[in-house]
Amino acid sequence: MNVLIIGGGIFLGRHITDALLSAGHRITHFNRALSAPPRADVEIVKGDRSRDLELLDGRTWDAVIDTCAYVPNDVRRSTRLLKERAARYLLISTLSVYDHAHIEDGTPIDESAATVVLAPTADETVMTPETYGGLKVRCENVVVNAFGADATILRCGIMVGPHDETDRFTYWVARCARGGRMLAPGDPNEPMQFIDVRDFAAFVVRVVEGRKSGILNVAGLPGAATFGKLFEHACRAAATRPEIVWLDREAIARTDLEQWRELPLWIEDAAFMRKFNELIVDRALSAGLTLRPLDDTILDTLAWARTLPSGYQMKHGMTPAREVEALRLAGC
């Protein structure tokens, strides 16, 4: 197959590219070529999707994989140009499209769950944390309206693994490996739901090859992982035995630690955190999604983390000094 990937090659795009090449497909990247190194086995069309899509004119593809759709106008431009030039359009969306405020506790979050509805006057030109989910919903709608039965929407959960530039999962794996006195949020049963990016990429290839249409949630199995399980497996992989100090929400409030950023993958609102990690993936499993063992993801992530430059500061997580101070403020 001849496949066009709109977006970068740092993390998800990189692994999708590897999976497609391993399956024998030809690939063209359309992006600004700002971050990923050039690859001899991939054609690069350098351009900004907001103004340079005409560079793709006059060509055809069996499938388009859009990894970086954030504002509807960009997607309108790309679908308008590619409607007669591509047989299928696959959009990478997000679990953030779901409107958790209108989903009752204990209600499974499948593809039919309520999604975020932005006000008609919402600014579509700039994505903010507040409008991220709603704009993604509008991007989905643009693709479905343009491609119909030839549209595929993958609503992804948290992706983890080697080359993850967010460091959210990597922080915890590396922190367990460092040993010593370790601050842990909530309790060992706090839920987590993530997917190895390589499993996600392999599923993208299966969906494209099988011409699978519709909307699919793509994540790890709900209830399969917890913070306690992650730390147990990460410590075993690194052969370390840190002193793990679990802080409940009241103790964390005394530390002023920032949820999600300083405590990656952890949310202060316990009810929201449960719902955030209850994405039902039955439809994707039926379509061929396979998930590797947690130990494989941890070992490969740890091996990659150890290749990072000396002194590298992770984008998420606590510095050692901040962690010590937080434990002191919590009275531990």
Is 317 inside a domain boundary?
yes
17 and 134 co-located in one domain = yes
pLDDT for 108: 82
Average pLDDT of the residues in 5-17:
91
pLDDT for 43: 94
Is 162 inside a domain boundary?
no
- N-terminal to C-terminal alpha carbon distance within the chain: 58
30 and 137 co-located in one domain = yes
pLDDT at 102 over 90: no
77 and 181 co-located in one domain = no
Q: How far is Cα of residue 316 from the mean position of the Cα atoms in its chain? A: 15
Is 279 inside a domain boundary?
no
This prediction has a pTM of: 0.96
17 and 133 co-located in one domain = yes
87 and 185 co-located in one domain = no
pLDDT at 12 over 80: yes
145 and 176 co-located in one domain = no
Where residue 59 sits, what CATH number does that domain have? Answer: 3.40.50.720
Q: Report in angstroms the alpha-carbon separations of 143 from 76, 80, 134, 135.
A: 8, 10, 15, 13
pLDDT tens across 132-153, in order? 999 999 999 999 999 999 999 9
Specify whether the CB–CB gap between 259 and 267 falls below 8 A: yes
Tell me the residue range of the domain where 33 lies.
Answer: 2-156
pLDDT at 37 over 80: no
Strands 63-66 and 2-6 turn out to be parallel
In the chain, the number of structural domains is: 2
Where residue 322 sits, what CATH number does that domain have? Answer: 3.90.25
105 and 246 co-located in one domain = no
227 and 258 co-located in one domain = yes
pLDDT for 126: 86
pLDDT for 69: 93
57 and 77 co-located in one domain = yes
Calpha distance 68→91 (Å, rounded): 8
pLDDT for 164: 97
33 and 86 co-located in one domain = yes
pLDDT for 167: 97
Q: In what order do the strands lie in the sheet with 151-156?
A: 43-46, 26-31, 2-6, 63-66, 89-94, 151-156, 214-218
pLDDT tens across 314-323, in order? 999 999 999 9
Under 8 Å CB-to-CB from 92, ≥6 apart: which residues?
12, 65, 66, 67, 68, 69, 154, 156
Per-residue pLDDT band for 103 (boundaries 50, 70, 90) equals confident
Specify whether the CB–CB gap between 178 and 242 falls below 8 A: yes
pLDDT tens across 150-204, in order? 999 999 999 999 999 999 999 999 999 999 999 999 999 999 999 999 999 999 9
230 and 107 co-located in one domain = no
pLDDT at 271 over 80: yes
Q: Report in angstroms the alpha-carbon separations of 271 from 62, 102, 190, 275.
A: 43, 13, 11, 6
pLDDT at 9 over 90: no
174 and 304 co-located in one domain = yes
Is 111 inside a domain boundary?
yes
Calpha distance 79→230 (Å, rounded): 40
Among positive and negative, which fits the CA dihedral 84, 90, 92, 93? positive
Per-residue pLDDT band for 10 (boundaries 50, 70, 90) equals confident
Calpha distance 29→17 (Å, rounded): 9
Q: How far is Cα of residue 148 from the mean position of the Cα atoms in its chain? A: 25
Calpha distance 249→21 (Å, rounded): 46
